Amino acid sequence: MVKRVILVTGTPCVGKTSVARLLAEKLNALYVNLTELAIKENLVLGRDEKRGSVIIDEKGVKRAVGKLIEDCGEQSVVVDGHYAASVVPKRFVTHVFVLRRDPVELRGFMERAGFLGNKLWENLAAEILDVCLVDALKAYGSERVCEIDVSKKSVENVVAEILEVLSGSRKCYVGIVDWLGKLEQEGLLEEFLRI
């Protein structure tokens, strides 16, 4: 089997970690959570109190993830992180799956996870405005990027879709969602784009 380096990215609360963990298990691949790696390797520069998140040393994480990928030989690697496109060296990446979730559904997930105020609205805006998708396309090009709408789907169903793409039995698409248009049509755009 050919070594794959697969990125699972998307805004917070779209299900990256659950999907990436199950995908890694199905592929017998090494699972790498970028934030856990940054903490473990002491590559945290500080804490963004306003957003309730860590500030990572991107160059350091890029070196650490590159070394990890090289050190695992022929074993495939599944990398989980919303900033994966900023830190995983292009030369290694074979596939990028950008998980997308309907903003109305995503808001519920975020609120249950404790997202409030600016942190909630900034992350919802990132989903609505395709930030993770645009970052992935800029970093890796459309031939490696696949967008997956995970709305109302189980983790198992999402992983099954990804496995179909990897096997070649399902086509990979970009541009499958239009959250701006959907929210505008539903009269919810002003409510969701507060930043």
Please state the length of the chain: 195
d(CA 66, CA 92) in angstroms, rounded, equals 8
Q: Assess contact for 63 and 37: CB atoms under 8 A.
A: no
What does DSSP say about strands 95-100 and 5-9: parallel, antiparallel, or unpaired? parallel
d(CA 28, CA 11) in angstroms, rounded, equals 25
- pLDDT tier for residue 195 given thresholds of 50, 70 and 90: low
The domain at 5-192 falls in which architecture?
A: 3-Layer(aba) Sandwich (3.40)
Please report, for the chain, the start and end positions of each structural domain, with discontinuous segments joined by +: 5-192
Output the average pLDDT for the chain.
Answer: 92
Q: At what angle do helices 103-112 and 117-128 cross, to 10 degrees?
A: 150
pLDDT at 1 over 60: no
Q: What is the pLDDT of residue 107?
A: 96
Could you read off the pLDDT of 138-168 as tens digits, one per residue?
999 999 999 999 999 999 999 999 999 999 9
Could you read off the pLDDT of 67-125 as tens digits, one per residue?
999 998 899 999 999 999 999 999 999 999 999 999 999 999 999 999 888 889 999 99
Task: HSE, CB side, 13 Å, CA atoms: give it for residue 127.
Answer: 31
Q: Assess contact for 20 and 106: CB atoms under 8 A.
A: no
What does DSSP say about strands 53-56 and 44-48: parallel, antiparallel, or unpaired? antiparallel
Q: What is the pLDDT of residue 49?
A: 75
Instruction: Tell if the pTM clears 0.85, that is, is over it.
Output: yes
